[in-house]
Structure 1
Amino acid sequence: MIHAVLYDLDGVIVDSQTAVVEALREVAGIALGILPPPEQVRRLAYLPPVQALTELGVADASRVFDAHFDTAYAAHARKSRLVPGMTAAMWRIRMAGRRQAIVTLQRRRRVNLLPLGEVHDLVDTIVCFEDATPKPAPDPLWLALDRLHIPPGHACFIGDTASDIQAGKAAGVPVYGAVWGYRDAAALADAGTDGLLSQPADIVSLVLAERPVTVGYDSSAISMTVRSGSCP
């Protein structure tokens, strides 16, 4: 039985892509003297911001990030929106007595800028960048599980990037790819996810074993199935 669900934040619970893209564009523009095209930045938005800035050609990206990103992000954070259906799914899981936690690469000060609303009432803990060695290390997942008093084998992790999948596997936690997030089904399958979820309601079916969840993709050879209750 699954006793706890861990969630990545950006892309899985909150659609923050517009805020991240606009913040990265502004910071890159300061460093480069010209704003990069939105689509170029959008293709890189799933990466950690320092890496995205480096890919955009920003020299000394870590220093530029530290100097400017928080201010730019604060100006756009309120453009973020909760993913439709996520709070309903999280309420179902909560009312069934399961524990829930967020494990994010965001620093706490930026998490506090996001319009998360009732999500705060639905999770037992939030593990942020500064709390443990960040993903893809397993440490933040272990910290969340320690706070929840749940062993890895009785939890699962919902993520949307390769680093989420790597962290879950390193932590011994089954990890499922949310295809509504930053990366598509092909990228998540290539990264080795244990299964693909097409909508937030599929998390309820997976965790509460209410019905089989089958997600199939015809893109070259992507065919993955998530069966309800497939976590130990």
Structure 2
Amino acid sequence: MSRELRGVLFDLDGTLLDTAPDMHAALTVLLAENDRPPLPFEAVRNHVSHGSQALVQLGFPDVEGARRETLKQRYLEIYARDLCIDTALFPGLGPVLDACEQRGWPLGVVTNKPAWLTEPLLETLGLSPRLAAIVSGDTLPQRKPDPEPMWLAARQTGLPPEQLCYWGDAERDIAAGRAAGMATLVARWGYIDASQNPDTWGADGTLDRPDDFWRWHQAKADPQWLAS
């Protein structure tokens, strides 16, 4: 099977969309409801890819068990209410999406975010019609780093995994893509804190900005790599 790339899949939070402003805002409301001071944006940003559980834990480190679960559910209510106030594509991704479409490449999203948040977010931003594949965290029993969501996305695009490239900003993204047989790229603009070292994740490459993809693609588009 040829490894020539013919489509691109993205993680959602921290790779395709900058959701941190709205997720931070929701945590700020939750903290205020519980008479706690807000956390600085930069202290919250790099936890966003780990979801609501991680954000509630960050804001309420002394709360556990049923109380933490109650806080998480309240956080999700607040976030869903103002899901797309300041969320947007990361700078530079619009032209990449346009160029992929001009090539006839299908695009897709594979995220651990639940569908009841993923789908309205993509719809609000006008991205849904542009995506051949949308796999959310509750679409299947398995979630990343399991490869099953990746394989489902490949089937939705109509391409074999070997002809897809997956971009992500978390180690589980790269693990899932690798396990599925896809090329993998680290989105360094994402929610990666200083304790993480993406160079150890085993990705096929790293991108400092979205349009670096074309230089990476050109460098990899040689007969030796395509036949490997």
Code of the residue aligned with 1:130 in structure 2: it is D
Would you say 1:153 and 2:162 are equivalent positions? yes
Within the candidate set 208, 213, 221, 1:203 is matched to 213
Match of residue 149 from structure 2: 140
Match of residue 47 from structure 1: 50
Would you say 1:191 and 2:194 are equivalent positions? no
Would you say 1:100 and 2:100 are equivalent positions? no
- Shift of residue 100, structure 1, vs aligned partner: 1.2
Identify which range, 140-149 or 74-83, moves more after superposition.
74-83
Runs of 5+ unmatched residues, structure 1: 213-226
Would you say 1:125 and 2:101 are equivalent positions? no
- Confirm or deny: 8 A CA contact 1:70 1:110 kept in the other structure: no
- Confirm or deny: 8 A CA contact 2:18 2:88 kept in the other structure: yes
Code of the residue aligned with 1:51 in structure 2: it is A
- Confirm or deny: 8 A CA contact 1:158 1:176 kept in the other structure: yes
- Shift of residue 29, structure 1, vs aligned partner: 4.8
Within the candidate set 81, 85, 89, 1:78 is matched to 85
Q: Which protein, 1 or 2, shows the higher relative CO under an 8 Å CA cutoff with sep ≥ 6?
A: 2
Match of residue 39 from structure 2: 37
Matches within 5 A, 1:149-188: 149-183=158-192, 187-188=197-198
Identify which range, 100-109 or 66-75, moves more after superposition.
66-75
1:180 and 1:115 map into 2 onto residues whose CA distance is 23
- Confirm or deny: 8 A CA contact 1:24 1:49 kept in the other structure: no
Deviations 1:150-205 (A, max 9, x none): 22211110111112112112222221001111126963223332210122112244
1:82 and 1:134 map into 2 onto residues whose CA distance is 23
Code of the residue aligned with 1:131 in structure 2: it is T
1:48 and 1:117 map into 2 onto residues whose CA distance is 20
Match of residue 4 from structure 1: 7
Match of residue 223 from structure 1: none
1:36 and 1:11 map into 2 onto residues whose CA distance is 22
Code of the residue aligned with 1:17 in structure 2: it is A
TM-score by length of 1: 0.80
Cα 1:228–1:197 change in 2 (3 A) is farther
Cα 1:176–1:73 change in 2 (3 A) is same
Code of the residue aligned with 2:111 in structure 1: it is T
1:9 and 1:47 map into 2 onto residues whose CA distance is 12
Cα 1:114–1:77 change in 2 (3 A) is farther
Count of residue pairs brought into register by the alignment = 214
Code of the residue aligned with 2:45 in structure 1: it is R
Code of the residue aligned with 1:45 in structure 2: it is V
Deviations 1:52-108 (A, max 9, x none): 322441323333212332323432531112112212111111111211111112222
SS of 1:78 mapped into structure 2:
coil
Code of the residue aligned with 2:205 in structure 1: it is G
Runs of 5+ unmatched residues, structure 2: none
- Confirm or deny: 8 A CA contact 1:19 1:76 kept in the other structure: yes
- Shift of residue 9, structure 1, vs aligned partner: 1.3
The percentage of counterpart residues that share the same residue type is 26
1:41 and 1:64 map into 2 onto residues whose CA distance is 17
